Structure 1
Amino acid sequence: MKKHVPFILVLLIQFGFSQEIDIEKLTLDDYLSDLETLDKTIEAQHPNPYKYVSKELQLKNKKNAIKRLKKEPSYHHFIQALNRFGDGHLSYTPPEDFIDYTIMNDIFFPFPVLVRGGKMFINYKNTTLPFGTEITAIEKIATKEIIDKLHYYIHGDGYIKTNTETNISSDFPFYYSNYIQKNVTSFSIEYKNINTGTLKTIQVPAVDYYELYRRAFQAMHPINKLEQYKTIHGHYLPDSKTGILTVNSFNINEAYAYKEFSKFFKKMNADQYKTVIIDIRNNPGGNPNIAALLFSFITDTNFKNLFNYKTSTIKLYSENLIDENGAPVGYEGIKNFENFLYQRFDKKDSIYIGNDRLKEGILENFPPDKDNFKGTVYTTIGGNTFSAAVYFAKLFKDHKRGSIVGIETGGNENTTFAGWFMNYKLPKTKLRVRIPITELYFGDVIDTPHGIIPDHIVPVDQYMKYLLEEKDPELQFILDREHK
């Protein structure tokens, strides 16, 4: 499961905690020491750190980042030097002190943006630049170049770019500040006039965090704000006999999932609805069995629920290991988890593969649910569709259950680094590192270089037209398609 929390929200949650470090007192040696520690930790614990990017290329990229760090030792240059190798589940969380420091000292790009199909648009109603205005350059740097540069730091499995664009849309001012240019007091923005298409340039002052936070909550996109605040949400359109089921996580227990799915589909059948749209555009994953459970409500035949895990080691790297609450993990906790892995993984050649004990309780021959829906079904996917949510989309696609609308999933079609995660805190910088220790395969062990590809992608011009009408683009595209 991949969980992306917008930096704007992180700032709000973490501001005001007790101090761990003084950011301004960190030295070059502190940064370099933690980068070396990080290298050792990832090498020892990650199941396959060189799957997408060779060790040689990773070292080359890191050397270039360390040159910048040595020239100007700072926390944001330290962040630029962290290991990046195409694992969408690997995550880094800076300490509260960095967040506090950012709030008090940084200024930001003044507008929320939406990035779609390699283009960047103003995502905010204001009197300076109208909502939907296309930005072509910032500080004389083409937006394509900015997106490409951010893609190195923010990406889905194997560098899937839709995940980059989706996350930039959430956190662009923060990403620009830390990875492109810092402390820009006034931004030169080149844009296309929304009426004539001619290029113009405007100078706009930067804003502080508090103004940025206010504007972020006034962003037009996404339209489906209510649905995003609930784990499972049913939206009913009786006039068109269409039901929309938004599922924002599969990291839920089976009893709750079954209750919510059953309630929705019982209404679909009782009220004779013709169409169901299952929205997993913002579902970062969770338990693949819950994804299979959802699929059982839209199929009328048994289906194979097959997935498995593999790893390079069943030993834990214990240095700087912490639990989810930030406390050091003791000897007993480490041994207990290693015993868990030992019992459930068998060594084959140099790799450990999940055995029957790991699969205990998993229903591999999954039957349809008694309340299954037999009408037309669509699934919407996006750059934040990850992990077990991709598995649901894969079941949907492989069984030809209906049409998939959206953009390529941020998670790989057949494999991802997921299942179990170890958390570490680097000793000097207090950066928290979450490392997946297993690789998850859906069905056969096949590697593909992409996510689930949708059947229909809403063209960018039409997408923006829907937004200008304050309509959810993918959902409106489906409704227009179904009710011509």
Structure 2
Amino acid sequence: MIDLRGNTGGNSTLGDILLSYCALPDSIYYYSADVCICELYLKNYQVNMEDVKKSLAIERGIILEDVTLPYVIKSVGDKPVKATSEYMNYWKANNGKETEPREPRKPFDGKIILLIGSNTFSSASDFATICKDNGLAIIYGTPTGGQPSCYGDILSFTLPNTGLKCGVSYKYFRRPDFRKDPEDALYPDVFLALDPDSHFKGKDILWERVLQDIRTDKVPDIAAR
């Protein structure tokens, strides 16, 4: 059981590491992103457009000729994107870490239960979305505080006259099964809201409900996605 309530995000690699300890199918659907290349992007990353073109050609097989900035690189067509076999093997061998492969181990093959709520954001919500879109977990709680597909990754800049520091997103992250868009939140499989009386008494009725379902073997089966 993984409690993502109150988890406002962080490094998404931690979710990858967590999944690497679980029994996964041969391939899973993963997040993809549209990227906006602009002058601010080039300045923040201290690269020029020729560097970007070379990188895209080598890493993604995208050939760009003359482009006018800002230019948006689309990530997908009309079908969800699966994680590459290399990425899946990287997970299984290294537990998502850039280290030498670990000794073979038995992955967790039981039911994965996630708890989400209105204060589940960013990479925590992404992790839950990956699990739901791939049928990897059963989810309890209330809807997340943000959309499964959303803008993210920030470019920083300072306003010249006021000196105010600002940030603007340059990526649009698409959920693994973006055919479900638009959704205003990730919705749980089992909805159970915390009522005010329980909250002020310090009673976590969601946690108690999940434990009760586990003890009585009433955790729902994970539906095919």
What TM-score range do you get, normalising by the shorter chain?
0.5 to 0.7
Residue 186 of structure 2 corresponds to: 452
The residue type equivalent to 1:467 in the other structure is H
Residue 301 of structure 1 corresponds to: 25
Map 1:444-483 onto structure 2 (within 5 A): 446=179, 447-460=181-194, 463-483=195-215
SS in structure 2 of the partner of residue 302 of structure 1: coil
The residue type equivalent to 1:392 in the other structure is F
SS in structure 1 of the partner of residue 87 of structure 2: coil
Q: 1:351 aligns with which of 69, 72, 75?
A: 72
Counterparts in 2 of 1:409 and 1:423: CA distance versus 1, 3 Å: same
Map 1:30-109 onto structure 2 (within 5 A): none
Counterparts in 2 of 1:288 and 1:298: CA distance versus 1, 3 Å: same
Q: 1:313 aligns with which of 34, 37, 51?
A: 37
The residue type equivalent to 2:209 in the other structure is F
Counterparts in 2 of 1:307 and 1:459: CA distance versus 1, 3 Å: closer
Q: Deviations over 1:178-235 (max 9, x none)?
A: xxxxxxxxxxxxxxxxxxxxxxxxxxxxxxxxxxxxxxxxxxxxxxxxxxxxxxxxxx
Tell me, in whole angstroms, the C-alpha distance in 2 between the residues paired with 1:426 and 1:376: 50
SS in structure 2 of the partner of residue 437 of structure 1: strand
Q: Deviations over 1:393-413 (max 9, x none)?
A: 123223433421122122322
Q: Is the 8 A contact 1:291 1:392 kept in 2?
A: yes
Q: Which has the higher helix share?
A: 1
Counterparts in 2 of 1:429 and 1:314: CA distance versus 1, 3 Å: closer
Q: Is the 8 A contact 2:4 2:120 kept in 1?
A: yes
Q: Deviations over 1:131-177 (max 9, x none)?
A: xxxxxxxxxxxxxxxxxxxxxxxxxxxxxxxxxxxxxxxxxxxxxxx
Cα offset, 1:302, TM superposition: 2.9
SS in structure 1 of the partner of residue 37 of structure 2: coil
Tell me, in whole angstroms, the C-alpha distance in 2 between the residues paired with 1:478 and 1:300: 23
Tell me, in whole angstroms, the C-alpha distance in 2 between the residues paired with 1:293 and 1:317: 29
Tell me, in whole angstroms, the C-alpha distance in 2 between the residues paired with 1:432 and 1:360: 38
SS in structure 2 of the partner of residue 476 of structure 1: helix
Tell me, in whole angstroms, the C-alpha distance in 2 between the residues paired with 1:290 and 1:340: 29
Q: Is the 8 A contact 1:315 1:338 kept in 2?
A: no
Q: Looking at both structures, which has the greater relative contact order when contacts are Cα pairs under 8 Å and sequence separation is at least 6? A: 2
Residue 438 of structure 1 corresponds to: 171
Counterparts in 2 of 1:306 and 1:459: CA distance versus 1, 3 Å: closer
Cα offset, 1:337, TM superposition: 6.8
Q: Is the 8 A contact 1:299 1:401 kept in 2?
A: no
SS in structure 2 of the partner of residue 404 of structure 1: strand
Q: 1:408 aligns with which of 140, 143, 154?
A: 143
Cα offset, 1:377, TM superposition: 2.7
Cα offset, 1:437, TM superposition: 0.9
Counterparts in 2 of 1:402 and 1:353: CA distance versus 1, 3 Å: closer
Q: 1:386 aligns with which of 100, 115, 121?
A: 121
Residue 425 of structure 1 corresponds to: 158
TM-score, normalised relative to structure 2: 0.64
Gaps of 5+ in 2: 77-82, 96-104, 217-225
Tell me, in whole angstroms, the C-alpha distance in 2 between the residues paired with 1:459 and 1:424: 40
Q: How big is the alpha-carbon RMSD for the aligned residues of Structure 1 and Structure 2? A: 3.8
Cα offset, 1:354, TM superposition: 5.6
Gaps of 5+ in 1: 1-276, 319-330
Q: Is the 8 A contact 2:158 2:164 kept in 1?
A: yes
Q: Is the 8 A contact 2:6 2:119 kept in 1?
A: yes
Counterparts in 2 of 1:286 and 1:303: CA distance versus 1, 3 Å: farther
Counterparts in 2 of 1:290 and 1:442: CA distance versus 1, 3 Å: farther
Counterparts in 2 of 1:449 and 1:399: CA distance versus 1, 3 Å: closer
Q: Deviations over 1:414-455 (max 9, x none)?
A: x2212x321123345443322111112233554323221012
SS in structure 2 of the partner of residue 304 of structure 1: coil
Tell me, in whole angstroms, the C-alpha distance in 2 between the residues paired with 1:352 and 1:442: 17
Residue 128 of structure 1 corresponds to: none
Q: 1:376 aligns with which of 94, 111, 123?
A: 111
Map 1:211-230 onto structure 2 (within 5 A): none
Tell me, in whole angstroms, the C-alpha distance in 2 between the residues paired with 1:379 and 1:317: 36
Tell me, in whole angstroms, the C-alpha distance in 2 between the residues paired with 1:391 and 1:397: 10
The residue type equivalent to 1:386 in the other structure is F
Residue 77 of structure 1 corresponds to: none
Pick the structure with greater CA Rg: 1
Counterparts in 2 of 1:398 and 1:472: CA distance versus 1, 3 Å: same
Q: 2:16 aligns with which of 264, 281, 292?
A: 292
